[in-house]
Structures are given as C-alpha cells and as structure tokens.
C-alpha cells in the first residue's frame, strides 16, 4: 500500500505549498496585469489608426479620380451644348418657319465620331 507522500496529488500539493504558489494574484501583480492590458490596447489602437490612414489615402485618391472624370464629362457636355446653341442661333437667323407650320417634334443634334 502507498503512503501519503507517495500519492501524486499530495506531492503536487506539497510543491505548491513549499514554493509559496497561490491561486489569487498578489496585489502588486494586478497593476502589472492592468499595465500589460493597457499596452496591448495601445498597440491595437495604433495599428488600427495606421490601417485607417492607409484606407483614407486610398479613398482620397479614388475621390480625386472621380472628381477629375466628372469635370471632364461635364466639360465635354458644356462644349457640346455650346456648339448646339451656336448652331441653333446660326440656323434660326437665316430661316424662320411659316406661321402655320409646327416645329419639329424631335430636335436634331449633330453627332461627332
């Protein structure tokens, strides 16, 4: 039969007692744990801030591209509208429709290819 000192559980218990091991952390240990958790949160937030800065750069670049394309499209449309107005002015000065005639249902616009 085994003695009390030969049982595995008691041997482990004896080591814990002689090593002054406790399940509850010391009061000073909680400050270190809190400092460690705050440091981890700081690192996480800094990494997230860096990620957001990169994302903002990408969004800003795409927004600039969209604005430039919009200006080009609107500029082409203004040029086309100005040409159509000048063409309408040129044709309306020379010939006037008769009093009884109806205007054309669909206006014609010159297309440039």
> pLDDT per residue over 1-38, tens digit each?
556 556 565 555 555 555 565 565 566 667 888 889 99
pLDDT > 70: what percent of the chain?
58
State residue 95 phi and psi, 5-degree precision: -130, 135
**Between the ranges 16-25, 31-40, 69-78, 86-95, where is the mean pLDDT highest?**
31-40
Model pTM greater than 0.75?
no
Smallest CA-to-CA distance from 76 within 42, 41, 112 is with 112
Based on C-alpha coordinates, what's the Rg of the chain?
42
**Mean pLDDT of the 62-85 span:** 85
Whether the pLDDT of residue 100 is over 80: the answer is no
């Amino acid at each position: 039969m085994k003695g009390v000192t030969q049982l595995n559980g008691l041997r482990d218990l004896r080591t814990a007692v002689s090593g002054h091991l406790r399940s509850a952390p010391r009061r000073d240990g909680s400050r270190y744990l809190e400092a460690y958790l705050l440091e981890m949160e700081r690192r996480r937030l800094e990494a997230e801030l860096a990620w957001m800065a990169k994302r903002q750069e990408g969004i800003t670049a795409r927004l600039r591209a969209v604005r430039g394309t919009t200006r080009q499209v609107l500029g082409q449309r203004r040029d086309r509208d100005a040409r159509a107005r000048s063409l309408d002015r040129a044709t309306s000065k020379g010939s006037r429709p008769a009093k009884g005639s109806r205007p054309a249902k669909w206006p014609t616009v010159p297309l440039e290819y």
